[in-house]
Chain A
């Protein structure tokens, strides 16, 4: 396989009046070549006007997500050896295009983080001498959702996200992470998370078809994580409802 010649079709999009077309390149495949390395090869050797994003090279930063032969993937994690010799590269769906393969995901994620106040709201005083206890199982559970690198793949793969304000699998598990964290002590902040999760923009808008699950490059079991979030949200809502019912009965 070492002497394979790859035919790479790259979608070019630039300028204020969006011109769209494909450019073809022929590249000698190298051993252990990732799609990101393939792009480097083309960019530095054949056409330096191509633009794409890449940073960590090891599936950690989430910036390099593109569509590879129609499927949303991380360019750094995808090995050319796993692909046919003809490779079509396009920008990720859903997000606004910056140029060629680069898209802007920051606006989507930043707005989401603002909206759901994605930070831990403390009320207790800070004690520099001793940390608050947390059972390891809970720390592990929080970590599972923290592993999301905001690559946007689940959002772009999701039919529900393609219209409306659905926050995507990433948004749902992030909201759940802050709901699960007992250090998030502010009741108002927790209510905000529940409201978002239990709306059409949140879990109620998810059709649970799990298109996202297959694609998450960090191998977060999104189907399971979404189900956990759903269960917890329902539990909280049920408790609220019970409380209300009791309140009315007492009246």
Chain B
């Protein structure tokens, strides 16, 4: 039985997790990072192309921008569900965080004057998206890993966190499966930070990578104590490229690219008279689906799609400023975007929901537990996230959680927990694995997984309605029942992809149920959550945040709500001129 002790444990080696680790380690505390992958830079943050928002206001086009405008844009984008205190704190921090990363050596694209350059993104009043060509996430992961190397932060790679070790309502550590040797280990610390990223794999068509299972959310939910905030809010990006839904960054439209239908008409102005191609993602995705439903889509690339035209930007621009898109188009879908249109169709992209925390990233319901990055919902994004705000969220929440933990570590350093607690939890996980491996017949986990993803895309997708959701809920319940009866073919403990999925699957099904049920209950349309049967936003009844939990022994999530505080900007029109 391997037991490691640190001051704090960070589960997740993406931008959020490593940023927090850097904050804590720089003050000399002992911290460790756990990741499913072999190296920090492999984390999904790496795939972010477009950029990170901060109101630097240092180019001629962005004069007049400041934290207030950034805050207003964020709140409008969120359709007023965001926590305005948190919005204010984060957008105020943004320029500092960007300049700090630049100081550390980030390679941001520059203006002619040598200042940090910024580009336009959907839903933003000014061009304030700081970028590094279109490999922003990659550059930031390089940077943050270089900081971790410099501070000598231990990284435990190829580890799958399985559960939280609780002492009453206090977390004292996590158990993990060492993927390479199959051992169950425990990592103990005064604080546990969940930074495991989003849960895009709940959906069949997604831009997310293969580790976006939402493990942090599931292990928190499975304690029965934590809450998932706003599970009904899932973002669909307008411009992934079928058939595999690799993303063409929003920067394409930010730089002047336009969406076209089968008649090669720029249809977005018919749906959003004010912002056209640059309306927020929920509006653009819905408009595109309406075009497709109206029969103005194009058959091909294994689906019905629309076109994205960036060839009008010219070869020079595409080959330099949108170089990764150029690269992806040529290599992955065989299209030359300097000469041809790019096929695009909306797909799942981002989970606004996550482990519900307060302003200091402390999870509801469990002491010592923190959640940051896409895995969390402290509520910066509300009902819809603005492009470029989630990279910002990763570094901001990493920084804020780091500060909070430092504060606590300075107060008490000794960790006392009841005898046998850790050993019991390790044994519990070992038994769980033994049971799964020992099962002779039962359900195939890959089949259940793919069924669940299909249901989520079908019944909790871009357009929702009561009837479909009811059907989805019933189907999910069936799948959830079957999760107890999962059988796997490969019987090894180590290096077994099937076992890795089986261990997280029942938790994932619980999250799916939370999404479906809260989508059913929210009888309005707000941000990314669209109900055909309730097409209007209803502030009187629904200006409130959803809190879902899954008490132990219960078959269905419990849904509660908390009010939204309005401090900066009262609810109003989003100003996109969306025709419904």
Contacts and interface: CB of A to CB of B under 8 A. Distances in A.
Given A55-B37, A110-B39, A122-B104, A49 B47 contact: no
B110 A49 contact: no
Contacts of A130: 99
Contact of B41 (A61, A104, A122): A61
B552 interface: no
B509 interface: no
Most A CB atoms within 10 A — which of B39, B135, B211, B489? Answer: B39
A135 interface: yes
Interface in B291-347: 301-302, 327-328, 331-334
B114 A135 contact: yes
Interface stretch (A145-153, A156-164, A229-237): A145-153
A6 interface: no
Given A55-B37, A133-B114, A119 B149 contact: yes
A58 B330 CA distance: 12
Nearest to B111: A136
B246 A58 contact: yes
Contacts of A99: 494-495
A7 interface: no
B180 interface: yes
Contacts of B46: 56, 60-61, 149
A114 B247 CA distance: 33
Interface in B331-371: 331-334
A99 B492 CA distance: 12
A83 B115 CA distance: 46
Contacts of A62: 41-42
Interface size class of B (residues with CB under 8 A): 35 or more
A104 B180 CA distance: 11
A195 interface: no
Contacts of B492: 49
Contacts of B138: 60, 146-147, 149
B495 A14 contact: yes
Contacts of B332: 34, 58-59, 77
Interface string A130-141: 111111101110
Contact of B103 (A32, A117, A126, A146): A126
Interface string A1-18: 000000000000010000
A105 B39 contact: yes
B107 A56 contact: no
B99 A61 contact: no
Interface in A82-108: 98-99, 102, 104-106
B266 to A, nearest CB: 27
B107 to A, nearest CB: 5
B102 A132 contact: yes
A87 to B, nearest CB: 18
A27 interface: no
Contact of B302 (A32, A119, A128, A140): A32
Interface in B29-68: 37-39, 41-44, 46-47
B579 interface: no
B113 interface: yes
A236 to B, nearest CB: 20
Interface string B84-103: 00000000000110011011
A59 B331 contact: yes
A149 to B, nearest CB: 7
Interface stretch (B139-147, B165-173, B536-544): B139-147
Contacts of A120: 104-105, 146
Interface SS of chain A: helix, strand, loop or mixed? loop
Contact of B102 (A31, A58, A131, A140): A131
A139 B496 contact: no
A195 B110 CA distance: 31
Contact of A63 (B37, B112, B333, B334): B37
Contact of B498 (A48, A109, A114, A129): A48
Interface string B358-391: 0000000000000000000000000000000000
A127 B37 CA distance: 35
Interface in B109-166: 109-117, 132-133, 135, 138-139, 142, 145-147, 149-150, 155, 157-158
A185 to B, nearest CB: 11
A37 interface: yes
A77 B133 CA distance: 21
B38 A43 contact: no
B110 A146 contact: no
Nearest to A147: B135
B146 A63 contact: no
B132 A143 contact: yes
A140 B38 CA distance: 28
Contacts of A59: 327-328, 331-332
Given A49-B490, A61-B209, A110-B39, A43 B497 contact: yes
A61 B46 CA distance: 7
B108 interface: yes
B44 to A, nearest CB: 7
Interface string A21-55: 00000000001101001000001110011110111
B464 to A, nearest CB: 27
A55 B211 contact: yes
B428 interface: no
A63 B38 contact: yes
A55 B137 CA distance: 15
B243 interface: yes
B446 interface: yes
A117 B488 CA distance: 44
Contact of A131 (B37, B99, B149, B180): B99
Contact of B107 (A44, A55, A132, A142): A142
A110 B116 CA distance: 29
Nearest to B449: A44
Nearest to A105: B38
Nearest to B104: A120
Nearest to A184: B105
B149 A48 contact: no
A51 B115 CA distance: 46
19 contacts: A14-B495, A32-B301, A34-B244, A44-B446, A48-B497, A49-B498, A51-B496, A56-B210, A61-B37, A63-B37, A77-B331, A98-B158, A113-B146, A119-B146, A126-B99, A131-B103, A131-B115, A135-B114, A139-B109
- 5 tightest CB-CB pairs across the interface, nearest first? A120-B105, A133-B114, A119-B146, A48-B498, A106-B38
Interface of B: 37-39, 41-44, 46-47, 95-96, 99-100, 102-105, 107-117, 132-133, 135, 138-139, 142, 145-147, 149-150, 155, 157-158, 180, 209-211, 243-244, 246-247, 301-302, 327-328, 331-334, 446, 488-490, 492, 494-498
